[in-house]
Chains A and B, each alone.
Chain A
Amino acid sequence: MSFLLGSGAGFSGDRTDAAVAVVAELIKRQQPSALVFETLGERTLAAAHRAMRDDPESGFEPLLDELLAPVLRDCLDHNIKILGNFGAANPTGACQVIADLATQLGREQVRIAQVHGDDIRQQLHSLDLQRWEAERLTMPGDEALISANVYLGAKALTEALAMQADVVVTGRVADPALFLAPLMHHFGWRWDDWDRLACGMMAGHLAECGAQVSGGYFADPGYKDVPGLATVGYPIIEVEQDGSLVITKPANTGGCVTEQTVKEQLLYEVHDPANYLTPDVTVDISQAEVRQLSPNRVAVTGIRGKPAPERLKTTICYEGGWQGEAEISYAGPNALARAQLAAQVLRERLVFRAPAELRTRLDIIGLASVFDSDSGELQRNSLPSNSGDYRLRLAAEHSERRWVARATQELLALYCAGPAGGGGVRRQFQRRVFTASYLVKRSDIHAYASLFETHVMGNNRSDRYVAS
């Protein structure tokens, strides 16, 4: 009998009702299964650390209760294991939220396990760090350090499952390892069974971005049509003892699982397809094949594994100054000329209103923006209609917020002092994060699991769940 891996979320900010249909399907199948929430992007962790500085009870996935409330009781009642990196910077805090939620649902006997060992801020200076080859930026000093986390493999997660955990809470782990762990636990594969490990990792790779394998991030009307995108079904992967994989999705959901959707996700964020590095195995998908078995069922074969890399990837996040953005719209007759004049006014004013080291960029949305370079080469060489609906965007970056504020203020001032008919001004600021990737020795990292000791819920905390 196959093991079923369901995806409940593919990033922090994903749909919070997606897991409901997945869990309904897992229950209907009556097979051993797990539900995985992947909510921790590369920089999400830095945001979590910043949040925790302001509020020690935060620092985990902000929508955790919204994600789990609709499915936790069903998962506990049907022995569907839940795994998630929704612990972020504060896995203990996440465990407490889950314990409180389970208590509210009348399931106070829930067993929650926490994975430790990814946070290496304290050990940073005693570790042998190698720089990741793709990066060249010079990084700030320790005073700007926000977080340092190793991408853990699946081992500590399988320890948690061996403790009969119902829910496994992690911080940073390699995303697909969240899916490999329940397979290792269920099938008892050996840690040097590279081909099976590779299949399990690719099951995770295919499912970790949620709907991206089942019709999300795919539709291109007239070329790649997707039915029911508003109710796209999140993926379920059927994995056999021999490692073979079938990607499918819940009945009565939108979306589609086709050879095309699977191919696109197979290479997503992959570089050399013959050497896809993960903490537990080096995966070779260069000879992989995909085959549609029936509607919304696609098999992936030809995945091979090689020994795991010697070192584990680590991401370090630093404070990165400030970015500000401001926008104004021009539409109708001669709109482009007015937007271009507004851009010219800003260029002239920023010369004497902002320091030379302020980095800026001007886009004319509707003419050229996301494809363009910072210097606006496409914008200068485009031949559009002068009449239309254009939006001038200024982005500015500086280590000090005040200069970003000053620069974007200049766009706001176009309201009264710029060309005719500008409107719809918006402005926002963000603190930036610099990340740097390093490789650390596997032997320097000590990952382990522990069962969370449930605390009695206080009255003040219980209020949080009334709405959900």
Chain B
Amino acid sequence: MLQAEHYPSTEASKSTKILHQLAHGRAGDKGERLNVGLFAYDPDHYATLLEQVTEERVLALFAHRGASRVRRYLLPNLAGMNFVIDDVLQGGVNGALNLDGHGKTLSFLLLSLEVNV
């Protein structure tokens, strides 16, 4: 349902996938701040995540929700990364009119990001 986010293909041999095929994740909230833990199923894909699932792209993905800042913390031993996204909850549990005021479903918004593998 989301419009496909355009991501330029740098190599013709690579194929476009959505992150959901390569990684799993879980979202949690504190106030106006959302975190999403993201983990590569296959550690060999961790480099792809590092290269393509950047703070800039995640900020763009959540821009329509008012995201103001994204920080990415790396957990190489877990083939994982933790995204902390500010001001994306449109009031959070305090003020959100969204059905999901906690943003718990938003892990799957991140997993809808396109990546080239």
Contacts and interface: CB of A to CB of B under 8 A. Distances in A.
B26 A286 contact: no
Contacts, number: 134
A318 B18 CA distance: 42
A13 B55 CA distance: 35
Contacts of A433: 94
Contacts of A266: 37, 78
B8 interface: no
Contacts of A264: 24-26, 37, 39
A377 B106 CA distance: 16
B26 A267 contact: yes
Given A361-B97, A374-B98, A271 B77 contact: no
Interface string A391-419: 00101110000000000000000000000
Interface in B16-64: 20-21, 24-26, 28-33, 35, 37, 39, 41, 64
A224 B21 CA distance: 11
Contacts of A287: 77
A224 B20 CA distance: 11
Interface in A215-242: 217-218, 220, 223-224
Given A134-B31, A266-B37, A393 B99 contact: yes
B103 to A, nearest CB: 8
B32 A136 contact: yes
B30, B33, B94, B98: residue with the most chain A Cβ atoms closer than 10 Å: B94
Nearest to B86: A134
B116 interface: no
Interface string A377-391: 110011110000000
A338 B117 CA distance: 41
Nearest to A262: B78
Nearest to A41: B93
A355 B11 CA distance: 55
Contact of A273 (B28, B66, B75, B94): B75
A214 to B, nearest CB: 14
Q: Is the interface of B mostly helix, strand, loop or mixed?
A: mixed
Interface in A264-301: 264-274, 285-290
A260 interface: yes
A373 B90 CA distance: 8
Contact of A368 (B1, B21, B41, B82): B1
A190 B73 CA distance: 31
B3 interface: yes
A7 interface: no
Contact of B31 (A135, A363, A367, A381): A135
Which among A218, A360, A395 has the greatest number of chain B C-beta atoms within 10 A?
A395
B105 interface: yes
B93 to A, nearest CB: 6
A397 B97 contact: yes
Contacts of B86: 134
A63 B41 CA distance: 38
A359 B75 contact: no
Given A266-B78, A267-B75, A370-B105, A134 B32 contact: yes
28 contacts: A132-B31, A134-B30, A134-B32, A135-B32, A260-B24, A267-B37, A267-B75, A268-B28, A269-B28, A269-B29, A269-B35, A271-B84, A286-B75, A302-B77, A360-B97, A361-B97, A363-B99, A369-B98, A369-B99, A370-B105, A371-B2, A371-B106, A374-B97, A377-B64, A395-B97, A396-B97, A434-B95, A435-B94
By Cβ-Cβ distance, the 9 closest A-B pairs, closest first, are A267-B37, A269-B28, A361-B97, A395-B97, A264-B26, A370-B100, A134-B31, A377-B64, A370-B105
Given A269-B35, A272-B84, 18 more contacts: A134-B32, A136-B32, A223-B21, A223-B24, A260-B24, A265-B26, A266-B37, A267-B35, A268-B28, A270-B35, A271-B30, A286-B73, A287-B77, A368-B1, A371-B109, A381-B3, A383-B3, A395-B97
Interface of A: 42-43, 132, 134-137, 217-218, 220, 223-224, 260, 263-274, 285-290, 302, 320, 323, 359-361, 363, 365, 367-374, 377-378, 381-384, 393, 395-397, 432-435, 437
